[in-house]
A and B are shown apart, each in its own frame.
Chain A
Amino acid sequence: MRLHRRSVLSATAAALGSFAIGRLANAADPVFVGVSGPLTGPNAQYGAQWKDSFDLALDELNPTAAHPVRYIFEDSQSDPRQSVAIAQKFVNDPRIIMELGDFSSPASMAASPIYQRARLVQFGFTNSHPDFTKGGDYMWSSSISQAEEQPQLAEYAITGLGKRRLGVIHLNTDWGVTSKNLFVAAAQAKGAAVTAAEGFLPNERDFRSTLVRIRDSNPDCIVLIAYYADAATIVRQIRTMALPQAIVAVSSVYSPKLIELGGEAVNGVHCSTTFFPGEQRAEVQRFVTAFKAKFNRDPDTFNATAYDTMVLVSTLVNRYGTTRPAIRQGIAEVRGVPSVIFGTIQFDPETRRVAGARYKRLVVRDGQFQLFEGGTPS
């Protein structure tokens, strides 16, 4: 914890000016949120992305806020055994008024009973598992609802690109299977056929035989429900097999890393996204510029989601108060929180999720994501 406190301190210090070092930064009494997420282990990159975005948001908001926010990041490795211990730590730390995370469903949902019992809001901003917010009325999420995204994706393939026979390759996890089921339902409702649905395991690298199965089901479009790293590998192998079908992918492939890892092969890949740095909306441009200035790279969707989350936290604290009950009340009532992903955030008190993400249609051309303006699919 010492390390994290130091990093938070230095971030705050940097915001106040370079002369402010160490304890000088304690201008106003800070409010603490606990973060439970992976900093080591197989998902460590996501925790690192969260930290970057949290720091950026707090750099911007804390200097002018009545109640500056700080976070205590505990490494769970996305392991349920550790996330439950962290949960006990957080619920019994009176400074902490809200919890963010964990990253994966098993880790988040294992800790939910503890947060629910202690009446501390658990905000799982990456938890798309349909049962996550059913854990209790203290479980809230701003994760994009797959029930909303998958019909959009089907729409993109069917009416946007004019495809009728869809072959689906999906990650075989709770997220991937939920998404695939919703996609299949949406596609069939729109009159298209799903010719095959192949689930792959995380860490798999070889998709050649999977692609033979997909090819032989004779689709006119391949749909990818995967994260960017796997999607890059799959697309490269689609190209080496010289499959002619159009490729459409879910928003989680949207990342500058897709292009880095996929190279020329990913040219022509279509994807829907909730976050696109090229979008002209003011919140988006402000976020992208600030992120680039601080980290010297393009942000991706995970960065944007984490940034939104910390903006929400600061808004709740400064609008509704610095106690746990105030946060619980505030999150149900809050309206119009600026958001990169949603435009503005407000929660549905029944599902405890956010509706109305803004979907953009993108296509990769010449190694760059561009807005897809219609026309013939490449």
Chain B
Amino acid sequence: MNAWFDYTVNGFVIGNIYALLAVGLALIYGVANLVNFAHGSVYVVGAYVGWAAITYLGTPLPLTILCVVIVSALVGVGIERIGLRPLHGSSRIAPLLATIGITLVLDQIVQLIFSPDPRAVPMQVPEWRIPLGGGTIGALDLLIAGIGLVSAVVLYGFLRFTKLGWAVRATAQDSDAALQMGVDINKVNMAVFAIASALGGLSGLLVGMYYNQISPAMSFEATLKGIVALIIGGLGNVPGAIAGSLILGLTESYGIALFGTSYRNLFAFVVLIAMLVWRPNGLFAGRRSLPPEPMTGTFITRSRPLKVPRWAVVAIIVVAALLPLTGHPYLLQIGANSLLYAMLALSLTLVAGTVGQISLGHAALLAIGGYASGLLALDGGWPVALAMPAAGLITAALGTALVFPAFRLTGHYVSIATLGIGEIVSLVILNWTGLTHGAIGLGGIPPLEIFGYDFGSVESTYWLSLVVLVLLALLQVRLLNSHLGRSWRAIRDDSVAARSYGVVGDRYKALAFGYGGFAAGISGAITAHIYSYINHETFSASISILALTMVILGGLGNVLGAVLGATLLIALPEAFRDLAEYRILIYGVVLLLLIRFRPQGLLGTV
């Protein structure tokens, strides 16, 4: 009994920390309808600003907090100015992607200035502790709880009772109408980003002090946990965010109690999915149904796709096929990587572009394909030539089944659900030791070999990938031009209208995920046989983000665009290799510029 009391206290302690993050995210979502992926970066910036202030200026706590709040607020204003304001009126996904680009840039700048080494933050809060059950809680726990609660109460009051607060809520409900009523929505958004980011930066400082440790790598985890808490509490619901955070903390703590430490995040993400399926508005919403999102025609940027003549496509394929004759293995390896990623991009451009389900967990399909093929060949003794297509089919079936509960969701909810499913797949691979070999990973996966012919050389890998890609791409083009393709686009453009014409959304979505799963699964399978070793981290969440960037760069739904996007984003970092440390920074800036100036992608959306 005593232990359960301790688990409960621990759940509240960690939930308390998530709350500081979630409140800022909730505020921004409430106003800008945007899941701010850069929030974790602001948190890192705040932590480092505080560290620098204490270390170099010797500031006392109130002054440290002031520095952190001011700098973080300025960063928030910058994010609004760069990531949101210029994108007003463009597709709904553009600001979300812009915040991902800003994260890349901010994290890298922090890393360049302060080095990636973890640092200790001098504790400026009294170190007394109160015994509670089997453990203790300290002054900092109470301070964090206090700041979380006070900020939530103040924000709630601000939104309810002040004129600017009304303006904020009016902007949240309908920014165009608010503008017509004389609300300066830019000023409102800027104020909200400043407040939310100040809070985010402050939480970075306090959490840094709490663990006596900060590093640039803590950004992604912070964003992820903040988003889960946000969903539990209800998107845009500030007091709900605090409750959601505490529930998340308790869930994790009880998860550890029941199943052990390595199940902690699995629990968190399963709760996320359960929430999305049963209570997508959060635990505290009266309504069970999703708020009507103005989805029709706004999520995908309209454009006329660039018409590439048939002879040009044939010429590109011929040139690509002849590339190995030039005898540059390094170039070919990059080529092969590009082709494998192009398969992933094909899959995602179908799901995200044609059907409008923006997936942030697509790397999971690679992982399923890679593990399926690797395990069939390694533990099942299958020949590689059979294992790979089987892996494609397994991925199609499993991928569709996993995402099936999320089919009724739309817009941002789909993105968050797929993000969660991606994490779940990775964690199941890690924990299901009996099947997947767990953390040790799959070693000694047999090399590519098809009916006795060795495909291990880079030339044959390249050719094999090219053939598979061309076949998949032709099939996809054929599908898009058929009745099926028209139904998919109809669901994307107006699901209600589609349904009233008898197009059942779920079945068509399942077909899209099935085909997409097959393409991605084959890509993962080939990759596994090339690498010879994979583990649960080989296909990480960052690959999902990369894949989405490829698809947007090429133009959502555009088959040729997906291939172009993949080629550019695999080749560009290699071309920037000379710039070593600055590579990711440049990559982030390029992404931001693209979203700003060519949101429909290079070849246009279809």
Contact = CB atoms under 8 A, between A and B. Distances in A.
A17 to B, nearest CB: 28
A134 B445 CA distance: 12
B175 interface: no
B449 interface: no
Contacts of B123: 263
Contacts of A85: 330, 333-334, 337, 574
A43 B443 CA distance: 22
A91 B118 CA distance: 34
A374 B452 CA distance: 61
Contacts of B120: 260-261, 263
Nearest to A91: B329
A263 B211 CA distance: 11
A39 B330 contact: no
A113 B580 contact: no
A23 interface: no
Contact of B135 (A40, A240, A260): A240
A16 interface: no
A286 interface: no
A210 B440 CA distance: 22
A147 to B, nearest CB: 14
Contacts of A338: none
A106 B441 contact: yes
A242 B337 CA distance: 51
B506 interface: no
A201 B118 CA distance: 17
Given A81-B337, A131-B444, A236-B212, A210 B261 contact: yes
A310 interface: no
B476 interface: no
Interface stretch (B74-82, B176-184, B526-534, B595-603): B526-534
A172 B444 contact: no
Interface string B564-591: 0000001001100111110110000000
A42 B217 contact: yes
Contact of B116 (A48, A104, A201): A48
Q: Which of B7, B220, B537 has the most CB of A within 10 A?
A: B537
B217 to A, nearest CB: 4
Nearest to A262: B212
Given A209-B11, A229-B215, A257-B118, A92 B257 contact: no
Contacts of A43: 116
B573 A213 contact: no
A84 B337 contact: yes
Given A113-B530, A241-B135, A262-B212, A44 B116 contact: yes
A243 to B, nearest CB: 9
Nearest to A205: B211
A368 B247 CA distance: 41
A82 B265 contact: no
A348 to B, nearest CB: 20
Given A2-B578, A106-B537, A177-B439, A206 B14 contact: yes
A177 B535 contact: no
Interface string A215-244: 110000000000001001100100011100
Contact of B439 (A73, A110, A176): A176
A129 interface: yes
Interface in A188-222: 198-201, 203-210, 212-213, 215-216
A159 interface: no
Contacts of A210: 256, 261
B173 interface: no
B422 to A, nearest CB: 15
Contacts of A113: 447, 456, 530-532
A55 interface: no
Contacts of B333: 84-85, 87-89, 114
B261 A198 contact: yes
Contacts of A262: 212
A80 B207 CA distance: 32
Nearest to B108: A40
Contacts of B265: 201
A88 B532 contact: no
B135 A209 contact: no
Nearest to B573: A82
A40 B580 contact: yes
Contacts of A4: 580
Q: How large is the interface on A (under 10, 10 to 19, 20 to 34, 35 or more residues)?
A: 35 or more
A245 to B, nearest CB: 13
A242 B132 CA distance: 11
Q: Which of B207, B257, B330, B438 has the most CB of A within 10 A?
A: B330
Nearest to B214: A261
Interface string A77-102: 00011101101110110000000000
Interface string B205-232: 0010001110101101100000000000
Nearest to B457: A117
A204 B330 CA distance: 37
A351 interface: no
Contacts of B443: 109, 129, 131, 134
Contact of B211 (A45, A134, A236): A236
Interface string B422-452: 0000000010000000111101100100000
A135 interface: yes
Contact of B531 (A48, A110, A207, A209): A110
A322 to B, nearest CB: 22
Interface string B239-263: 0000000000000110011001110
B354 interface: no
A174 interface: yes
B213 A229 contact: yes
Q: Which of A173, A209, A229 has the most CB of B within 10 A?
A: A209
A105 B261 contact: no
Contacts of B14: 206, 208
Contacts of B119: 260-261
A75 B439 contact: no
Nearest to A84: B333
A233 B213 contact: yes
A207 B570 CA distance: 38
A257 B118 CA distance: 8
Contacts of A104: 537
B142 to A, nearest CB: 14
Given A40-B111, A200-B262, A261-B213, A213 B456 contact: no
B136 interface: yes
A212 B3 contact: yes
B329 A88 contact: yes
B10 interface: yes
Contacts of B218: 203, 205
A310 B125 CA distance: 45
A282 interface: no
B298 interface: no
B507 interface: no
Contact of B532 (A44, A112, A236): A112
B91 interface: no
A342 to B, nearest CB: 26
Contacts of B279: none
Nearest to A113: B532
Contact of A261 (B138, B212, B337, B532): B212
B580 A109 contact: no
Q: Which of A88, A131, A207, A232 has the most CB of B within 10 A?
A: A88
Given A131-B444, A209-B10, A212-B3, A200 B261 contact: yes
A66 B533 CA distance: 39
Given A117-B456, A177-B439, A198-B261, A74 B135 contact: no
Given A205-B211, A232-B213, A240-B136, A212 B439 contact: no
Given A44-B111, A75-B580, A242-B131, 14 more contacts: A45-B116, A45-B118, A91-B329, A92-B330, A105-B533, A110-B531, A113-B447, A172-B439, A177-B440, A178-B440, A198-B261, A206-B252, A208-B14, A261-B118
9 contacts: A40-B583, A41-B584, A88-B458, A104-B537, A198-B261, A199-B439, A204-B261, A209-B11, A209-B252
